[in-house]
Amino acid sequence: MAERMVSDVLIKPDVALEMTLRPSLFSEFTGQAKVKERLEITVAAAKQRGEAIDHVLLSGPPGLGKTTLANIIAKAMGANLKNTSGPTIEKAGDLAGLLTNLEEGDVLFIDEIHRLQPAIEEYLYPAMEDFKLDIIIDQGPNARSVRLNLPRFTLVGATTRSGLLSAPLLTRFPVRERLDYYHAEQLEQIVIRSSRLLNIEVDPSGAREIARRSRGTPRIANNLLRRVRDFAQVRGDGRIAAAIADQALAMLEIDENGLDEMDKRILEAVIVKFSGGPVGVGSLAVAVGEEPDTLEEVYEPYLIMEGYLKRTPQGRVATELTYKKLGMKPGRDGQTSLL
């Protein structure tokens, strides 16, 4: 359970919990200061002109607040928000149904937009540019194209892998923002805010301990807060102090750098099974028993940011920091030995 906690939290979030803790206003949203400021200006300008906001693309690792920002944008515009995701739109008729049910100024949020099928993307282009939808009626010799007028709407797309978006789709987003990992101080504010909403008694030191082990990700911080609360309730007096948080996180096998069991398995596999690399993501995924997409979207970004892995044209390579972390040293003949 512990070794899959990060991927479970980021890929299959607790929707009910997120709705409870999710900020609804720009003023309540912590972190991403530059992104937030630019979006606030865009929204304010659109409201002054009485227009729908330009289409927005939000990119970045999972759990950083892309869906939350989409909700905030819709509320700030006083518009309805319609939610869907790339994998659930299987045919053009699904997209046509979504678009024709939109009202003037509505916000359509498509999560994982990079997973849209190419044929469905083609239907989006005229809808985004000209607010028109071309649909084909009948088949064979009787087939004919009908153009429908759409109300002016805003498409907000979210993606963890913007590099997979086609150039024609990418260029149709006038507003493109990337969300980065949070600093520990920002996560500490998020933990304290969430503890108030969940009626959890937490010391500043306890919130700090949870924040610095949350991989720079608010969704993980909120999940760890609940797990530490359970530990404090059973093994302590219910109050989360630094010592209790440390014991709880150690039980969950999350170390002082926020690395869990799967992170360490990935790093060990690169060093022990592949002599420090380079190794392709497919081979590495097989070695640790995880999906390649999960490695690339969930684990790798943090490991690369923290300096444990390097991504090269030949594959993934372990850094000197990884050897120190695992108490190993590279051998001259490519073999790895313990320090």
* CB-neighbour burial class of residue 318 (10 A; exposed 0-12, middle 13-18, buried 19+): buried
What are the beta bridge partners of residue 328? 338
Report d(CA 95, CA 117) in Å as an integer.
11
DSSP 8-state secondary structure symbol assigned to residue 140:
G
Residue of 36, 66, 213, 227 marked active site: 66
Q: What are phi and psi of 337, to 5 degrees?
A: -130, 160
Please, are residues 262 and 6 in contact by the beta-carbon 8 Å criterion?
yes
- Active site (annotated) includes residue 312: no
Please, are residues 23 and 68 in contact by the beta-carbon 8 Å criterion?
yes
- Active site (annotated) includes residue 229: no
- Active site (annotated) includes residue 208: no
Residue 93 CA to its chain's centroid (Å): 28
Residue of 219, 227, 264, 325 marked active site: 219
> Residue 158: which of 85, 87, 222, 97 has the closest Cα?
85
Report d(CA 305, CA 307) in Å as an integer.
5
Buried b (16+ CB within 10 A) or exposed e, 164-181: ebeeebeebbebebebeb
- Active site (annotated) includes residue 324: no
Q: Side-chain half-sphere of 116: how many Cα atoms within 13 Å?
A: 26
Residue of 160, 319, 322, 336 marked active site: 160
Residue of 67, 294, 319, 336 marked active site: 67
Task: Please state at what angle helix 218-235 crosses helix 204-212, rounded to 10 degrees.
Answer: 130
- Active site (annotated) includes residue 42: no
**Nearest 5 degrees, angle CA 164-CA 170-CA 175?**
125
The residues assigned a catalytic role are 66-67, 111, 160, 219
